[in-house]
């Protein structure tokens, strides 16, 4: 990423680029070796992008459903994701609803006063 930023001229002053790179390395080092939660942190970053993607899909009239509870190793193997140096943290299904299908059975939901406390 640093090479790309340099090529793009993200920081016109070399000192600022060097400071950015140093701060980024320190942050990753802290996550890797201090807190030992870099994977958890990366999942949070993924979920922020996921949320924005779902909002953009809704604006376009596309249904979106995040999926967990899958075997990441199987997905990574099927799509050769680990070969790129990445791994799967969440899946996102996108599509249009079938206008012919309507759910006629009621959907059970708790009342909002059972779920939320208003202060």
Q: What is the pLDDT of residues 33-48, one digit of tens each?
A: 999 998 899 899 999 9
* Confidence category of residue 17, pLDDT binned at 50, 70, 90: very high
| Three-class SS state of 64 | strand
Is pLDDT of 100 > 80?
A: yes
pLDDT at 39: 85
Beta-bridge mates of residue 64: 94
Please give the pLDDT value at position 63: 95
Instruction: Write 34-41 long-range contacts (CB < 8 A, 24+).
Output: none
Average pLDDT over residues 49-58: 97
Q: Model confidence at 2, in pLDDT bands (50, 70, 90)?
A: very high
d(CA 37, CA 41): 6
**Contacts of residue 23, Cβ cutoff 8 Å, sequence gap at least 6:** none
Q: For position 38, what pLDDT does the model report?
A: 87
Residue 19 has pLDDT above 90, yes or no: yes
| pLDDT of amino acid 53 | 98
């Amino acid at each position: 990423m640093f090479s790309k930023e340099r090529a793009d001229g993200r920081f016109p002053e070399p000192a600022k680029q060097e400071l950015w790179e140093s701060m980024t390395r320190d942050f990753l080092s802290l996550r890797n070796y201090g807190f030992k939660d870099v994977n958890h942190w990366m999942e949070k970053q993924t979920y922020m992008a996921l949320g924005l993607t779902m909002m953009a899909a809704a604006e376009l009239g596309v249904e979106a459903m995040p999926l967990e509870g899958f075997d990441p190793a199987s997905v990574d193997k099927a799509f050769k994701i680990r070969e790129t140096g990445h791994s799967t943290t969440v899946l996102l299904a996108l599509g249009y609803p079938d206008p012919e299908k309507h759910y006629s059975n009621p959907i059970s939901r708790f009342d909002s006063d059972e779920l939320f406390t208003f202060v």
